[in-house]
Amino acid sequence: ETGVTQSPTHLIKTRGQQVTLRCSSQSGHNTVSWYQQALGQGPQFIFQYYREEENGRGNFPPRFSGLQFPNYSSELNVNALELDDSALYLCASSPGQGASMGTTEAFFGQGTRLTVV
Amino acid sequence: SQQGEEDPQALSIQEGENATMNCSYKTSINNLQWYRQNSGRGLVHLILIRSNEREKHSGRLRVTLDTSKKSSSLLITASRAADTASYFCATDARSGYSTLTFGKGTMLLVSP
Q: Do B97 and A56 touch (CB under 8 A)?
A: yes
**Which of A43, A99, A110 faces B41 most closely, judged by CB atoms?**
A110
Per-residue three-class SS string for B35-100:
EEECCCCCEEEEEEEECCCCEEEECCEEEEEECCCCEEEEEECCCCHHHCEEEEEEEEECCCCCCC
Q: What is the pLDDT of residue A87?
A: 97
Quick: pLDDT tens for B49-82: 999 999 999 999 999 999 999 999 999 999 999 9
* In the predicted structure, residue A21 carries a pLDDT above the cut 60: yes
pLDDT at B100 over 90: no
> pLDDT class for A7, splitting at 50, 70, 90?
very high
Q: What pLDDT, on a 0 to 100 scale, did the predictor assign at position B2?
A: 52
Tens-digit pLDDT profile for residues B4-58: 688 899 999 999 999 999 999 988 888 899 999 998 788 999 999 999 999 999 9
The nearest CA of chain B is from the CA of A77 a distance in Å of: 20
State the amino acid at position A24 in one-letter form. S
Q: Which DSSP category does A86 fall into?
A: -
The minimum CA-CA distance between A15 and chain B, rounded to whole Å, is 23
Whether residue A108 and residue B30 make contact (CB cut-off 8 A), yes or no, is no
Asked if residues B41 and A110 have their Cβ atoms less than 8 Å apart, the reply is yes
Residue B107 touches chain A, beta carbons under 8 Å: no
Closest CA–CA distance from residue A14 to any residue of chain B (Å):
22
In chain A, the percentage of residues whose pLDDT exceeds 70 is 91
Q: How confident is the model at residue B27, as a pLDDT? A: 86
Q: Which pLDDT value is given to residue A94?
A: 86
What is the tens place of the pLDDT at every residue in A52-99?
999 889 999 999 999 999 998 999 999 999 999 999 999 999 886 644
